[in-house]
Amino acid sequence: MADITAFLSAAADLLGPRGLTRDPELMQSWLTDWRGRYTGQAMALASPASAAEVAALMRLCAEHGVPIVPQGGNSGMSGGATPDATGTAVLLSLRRMNAITRLDAGAREVTCEAGVVLQTLHDAAEAQGLRFPLTLGGKGSATIGGLVSTNAGGTQVLRHGSMRAQVLGLQAVLADGSVFDTLTPLKKDNRGFDLKQVLIGSEGTLGIITAATLRLLPAVAARQVLWVGLGSVAAARELLLMADTLAGEVLEAFEVLPLHSHHAVLAHVPGTRSPLGQDHAWYALIELAADQPRADALPDLAQALLEQGFEAGLIEDATVAVNETQAEQFWTLREEISASERAIGPAMQHDIAVPVARMASFVEHAVPLTEQRFPGTTAIAFGHLGDGNVHYHVIAPPGSERAAWEREEGKQISAFVHDLVTEWGGTISAEHGIGQLKADELVRLADPVQLTMMWAIKQALDPRGLLNPGKLLPTPAASRSALAPAYGGD
Ligand SMILES: Cc1cc2nc3c(=O)[nH]c(=O)nc-3n(C[C@H](O)[C@H](O)[C@H](O)COP(=O)(O)OP(=O)(O)OC[C@H]3O[C@@H](n4cnc5c(N)ncnc54)[C@H](O)[C@@H]3O)c2cc1C
């Protein structure tokens, strides 16, 4: 049994008044997730200023058996950074650790503390004529620690890969307070397992990320951003193949959205307007981007793509952004979809992927099937067609009461969608992680061999289950003993 008084007193001595609070008002806004689906309680909010303080706090938690829930920008989509309702955990905010400690323009590397916000990193890289090649709608609040812990994706994975591909080195505090440190990157290193890759995507269940060294690329010298109206998602898939053949590695992004999402953004985001005169069933947002040597070729490439797309009967209408302001406006129409759809009302969101070549067919199959099975709902799919990954939202029938609908029909809808995705050889989490939202579904649908391996790693690194309990790998005794009899801890 934890001696809470002794723990809190030692934590207060360690972190000081700026680093530890129990004030309910100061804690309140961090106890609910971005989607507003989960609200938890915490015994305290800890905001350490350094990796050394995180390590010392973790040692205290280990000594007193206190669970710890790491949190970055709280922009995660799976409730992973929200503690449970018991109030027995410490909520650990990394937001105070927000220094960019090294930016080596020559080596094209940057080392950031975990609390650096993605937009801040973009700005710092840009000031050096460089760029960090990962972005997403939550860039104003998502932190490096959160992005690493969820192996975030976003709109540039098509060309540059997810967060996993950007991390050159990592620093993390483990459950016993020891510090894993590979911040100095090695291009080649074959001393066994790549342990940083085990920590990436572990959602705070194996260690607390305190810093990362990330790769940078030369700044984009020019880009062409195209907004294209299409008759179907199948046409979008054909156009993607065409763009890939024509543009090769300057194809930076290829995003799709249905008319419903476009209307949602136009209705809910002030100042937005449709780039095309008429409505189309589907839209593609295509970006071609190049550094200096290839910049001059971009306008011709964009024109060639549009001409070929029209000739092949794939494109119904299209326009190219005439300047950076308009390019940003096109991107706003894509990046504001999640927030706009949220404003419409209750919906079950699914972050799914199937093999890239099958995604268009999957959407054409799944949307009518879902709406038929759950009358009154509207199913929409938008996002990263080029990665075989769409955000598949099923919007509640008008007038539904959110909590009741999510609990009853919503749950059935998610099981239905996840079953369908599994049948198609896909995944229930392409980029948002499992968190608490999909922990049960992971146990229900994942390959038992993979689950057993994950439990074995969890058992080895966090035998008492202190790191982000209930997330990713659920703790119910039944599933634990069924899957990994060796797992011993709470
Ligand atoms: C409008 C919008 C659009 C988005 N679009 C995308 C998208 O396209 N692609 C995508 O992948 N995501 C997207 N996201 C989701 C979100 O931005 C990412 O999941 C992001 O990686 C979360 O970062 P965060 O700092 O907010 O983490 P949090 O939400 O605070 O935490 C997320 C998870 O990481 C853990 N964690 C956080 N920091 C640490 C740390 N230092 N050490 C260990 N564990 C930690 C938490 O415990 C939790 O499990 C979007 C979010 C918004 C709001």
Q: Does position 1 have pLDDT exceeding 70, yes or no?
A: no
Q: How far does residue 368's CA lie from ligand 1's centre (Å)?
A: 31
Ligand 1, atom 41, lies closest to the CA of 145
Token pair belonging to 346: 């209750």
Q: Does position 343 have pLDDT exceeding 90, yes or no?
A: no
Q: Is 386 in the pocket of ligand 1 (CB under 6 A)?
A: no
Residues 6 or more apart from 242 whose CB is under 8 A from it? 305, 308, 309, 312, 314
Q: Is 387 in the pocket of ligand 1 (CB under 6 A)?
A: no
Q: Does position 375 have pLDDT exceeding 80, yes or no?
A: yes
Average pLDDT over residues 49-65: 97
Predicted pLDDT of residue 291: 87
CA distance 164 to 153: 9
Q: Is 224 in the pocket of ligand 1 (CB under 6 A)?
A: no
Q: Does position 482 have pLDDT exceeding 60, yes or no?
A: no
C-alpha distance from residue 417 to each of 268, 393, 397, 399 (Å): 27, 10, 17, 22
Q: Which mutation among 57, 74, 77, 473 tests ligand 1's pocket best, with the greatest number of atoms within 8 A of CB? A: 77
Average pLDDT over residues 181-189: 93
Predicted pLDDT of residue 484: 40
pLDDT band (50, 70, 90) for residue 433 = very high
Strand-pair category, 282-290 with 251-258: antiparallel
Phi, psi of 15 (to 5 degrees): -100, -15
The residue ranking higher by pLDDT, 71 or 485, is 71
Q: Is 266 in the pocket of ligand 1 (CB under 6 A)?
A: no
Average pLDDT over residues 262-267: 96
Ligand 1, atom 20, lies closest to the CA of 147
Mind listing the pLDDT tens digit for each residue in 211-261? 999 999 999 999 999 999 999 999 999 999 999 999 988 999 999 999 999
What rounded mean pLDDT belongs to the chain?
94
Ligand 1, atom 28, lies closest to the CA of 74
Average pLDDT over residues 286-301: 92
Q: How far does residue 469's CA lie from ligand 1's centre (Å)?
A: 17
Q: Is 156 in the pocket of ligand 1 (CB under 6 A)?
A: no
Average pLDDT over residues 300-327: 97
Q: Is 81 in the pocket of ligand 1 (CB under 6 A)?
A: yes
Residues 6 or more apart from 482 whose CB is under 8 A from it? none
Average pLDDT over residues 125-150: 96
Q: Is 143 in the pocket of ligand 1 (CB under 6 A)?
A: yes
Q: How far does residue 150's CA lie from ligand 1's centre (Å)?
A: 6
**The CATH number of domain 346-423, selected from 1.25.40.20, 3.40.228.10, 3.30.360.10, 3.30.70.2740:** 3.30.70.2740
Q: Is 353 in the pocket of ligand 1 (CB under 6 A)?
A: no
Q: Is 340 in the pocket of ligand 1 (CB under 6 A)?
A: no
Q: Does position 309 have pLDDT exceeding 50, yes or no?
A: yes
Average pLDDT over residues 343-368: 94
Predicted pLDDT of residue 481: 46
Q: Does position 455 have pLDDT exceeding 70, yes or no?
A: yes
Q: Is 79 in the pocket of ligand 1 (CB under 6 A)?
A: no
Q: Is 339 in the pocket of ligand 1 (CB under 6 A)?
A: yes
Q: Is 138 in the pocket of ligand 1 (CB under 6 A)?
A: yes
Q: Does position 490 have pLDDT exceeding 50, yes or no?
A: no
Q: How far does residue 478's CA lie from ligand 1's centre (Å)?
A: 29
Phi, psi of 392 (to 5 degrees): -110, 100
The pTM score is 0.92
Q: Is 74 in the pocket of ligand 1 (CB under 6 A)?
A: yes
Average pLDDT over residues 151-168: 95
Average pLDDT over residues 66-95: 97
Q: Is 468 in the pocket of ligand 1 (CB under 6 A)?
A: yes
- Give me the CATH topology for the region 222-337: Alpha-Beta Plaits (3.30.70)
CATH number of this structure's domain 4-93 = 3.30.43.10
Residues 6 or more apart from 137 whose CB is under 8 A from it? 335, 336, 337, 338, 339
Q: Does position 280 have pLDDT exceeding 60, yes or no?
A: yes
Predicted pLDDT of residue 35: 84
Q: How far does residue 481's CA lie from ligand 1's centre (Å)?
A: 30
Q: Is 151 in the pocket of ligand 1 (CB under 6 A)?
A: no
Give the CATH architecture of domain 100-218: 2-Layer Sandwich (3.30)
